Amino acid sequence: MTQRLIVIGGDAGGMAAASQARRRRGRDDLEIVAFDRGHFTSYSACGIPYWISGVVPERDQLIARDPATFRDDFAIDVRLRTEVTGIDLERREVVAREVDGGRQVRERFDTLVYATGAVPVQPSWATGTAGIFGMQTLDDGAALREWLNGDPAPRRAVVVGGGYIGVEMAEAMIECGLSVTLVEQAEQPMSTVDPDMAALVVEAIRGLGVEVRTGTTVTGVEERDGRVSAVVTPDGPLPADVVVLGLGVRPNTALAEAAGLPLGPTGGIRVDRRMRVPGVSDVWAAGDCVETLHLVSGMPVHIPLGTHANKQGRVAGINIGGGYATFPGVIGTSVTKVCDLEVGRTGLRERDATAAGFEFVTVIVESTSRAGYYPGAQPMMVKLIAERPTGRLLGAQIVGRSEAAKRIDALAVALWNGMTVDDMTGLDLGYAPPFSPVWDPVLIAARKAVDTLAGSGR
C-alpha cells in the first residue's frame, strides 16, 4: 500500500524533507503532499531586505524551486494558499482550509513533517492599522513592496527593533529614499553581539543617515484615514508612513501545541537528533519551528536560520526515506552587513558564557583585512572569548569592512572542533598581501588570548 507523507510548510525545512524523502522512495511507494498558506515555495527569506532595497532586482531571484518544479521533477503535490488549521494525531489526519475560497478538507497521513517556520514578534498595537509590516515571508516582502510603490508614496519609515532584520531593513529603507528612524528598546541595537562590538555597528547605522533611538519603547501608533501616521513613544510621537517590525521571531508552534506535540523551554518543538518528535510515531519537525542543542553551552536554543532549516529538513527526509542521518546541533554562527560594515559572530557572547557557568577571558584586537601597505586595507576588530583556564574557544565576534565577516568561518570551524586559542595560534591560514597581513587578525587575536590566559597580557 502506498504510504502518504504530509508536509506542513513549503519553505526550506519542509521542502528539503520532502525532496530528500522522494529521492529515496519511489512515486508508487510514497505519495507526498505539501501545504503552505503563502504564494511561494523554497525561497530565501534572508534575501528579502535586498529585494526591497533593489540590490536584487527581481522577486523570483529569491526562489530556489517553484511549485511546478516540485510537481514535475519530484512528484510532490504542492498546495499553496492552503492553511493547515488542525492536526488529528489519533485519526492521522490534518485539517486544511483554502485561504482564498474557504473550502475545508481533511487529508490522511502515515508520516507528518511539521515545518511551519517562525512568526514575527508582533505587539498588540501592530494589528489593525495599514502600513505596518512584519518581515518573515516572501508574501510579507511583496506586501511591503506594494506599499512602498503605492500612492501616496511613503516618505518616512520607522523600524522597530534593532536585530539583524531591523538593521537590514533600516538600510533597505534608506536605499529606497525614505528618511528612517530605528527604535530599539535596549540601550543599543544588535544584541546578537556584545555591547562593545555593537557600538561599532551603531556608528555605521548612523553614518547611513538613520536616526537611532535607543532605550525607547513603542507603545502604540497614530493613524490617519486608516493608515499609520506615527508611532507613539514616551518621548512623543515619531512620524511614520510605514512601520517595519524587527522585534525578532518566535517558533510557529500553535498547531503543534494544540495537537499535543512536545515543546521545549525555548518554545520550539522538541526533536531528537534524527529530527523525530519524541512520544509520537512518524512525526518529524524541522526548521525555524524547532529548538536545537547549542554545542558550546549545552543548552537548548532557538536560532532561526535558513542554513539550519535546510540541514534539518534534509536529515528528516533522509530518515523518512529509509536512510540514516543526524543533526548534531548549532554553535550560533551568523553574519550580516550595514552598508559596507560587516558583522560576524559564532559561539557564545559574554552574557551567554556567564549564564552557562563558564569562567572566561575576553580579548579584542584591531587589525586590517590586508597587508597594511596594500591598497584597500580596511580595519577590523576581532573579539575572542576563551574558557579559563583551559583556553578552549567559547565564542568570537568580528566587526570590520572589506573581507571581515567571512573570517568568522575559520573561527566557527575552530569552535566546532573544540580547539583552544593555543591550538589556533598555529593554524595554517592563507596569506598574500591582497588578502591578509602576514599575521592574520584571527591569529593575532588567538595570540593575545593565550597571553591573557597566561597572565602576561595585563
Q: In this structure, what are the phi and psi dihedrals at residue 278, rounded to the nearest 5 degrees?
A: -70, 145
With beta carbons less than 8 A apart as the criterion, state whether 54 and 148 touch: no
Sequence-ordered strand ranges (E) for 388-424: 393-400
Contact present, 106 and 95 (Cβ < 8 Å) = yes
Q: Which of 46, 176, 289, 339 is catalytic?
A: 46
Q: Give the chain's count of helices (H) and strands (E).
A: 12, 25
- Tell me the DSSP string of 269-291: BP--TTSBPTTSTTEEE-STTB-
Query: What residues contact 111, with CB distance under 8 A and at least 6 apart?
Result: 3, 4, 5, 6, 282, 283, 284, 320
Please answer whether residues 154 and 147 qualify as being in contact, where contact means their C-beta atoms are separated by less than 8 angstroms. Answer: yes
Contacts of 207 (CB under 8 A, 6+ apart): 339
Active-site residue flag, 46 = yes
Distance CA 247, CA 169 (A): 12
Q: Which helix (H) or strand (E) holds 216?
A: none
* Short-list 295, 294, 309, 305, CA closest to 264: 294
Q: Are strands 300-301 and 179-184 parallel, antiparallel or unpaired?
A: unpaired
At 378, list the grid cell. Answer: 580596511
CB within 8 Å of 127: residues ≥ 6 apart: none
Cis (ω within 30 of 0) for the bond into 152? yes
Q: Which are the catalytic amino acids?
A: 46
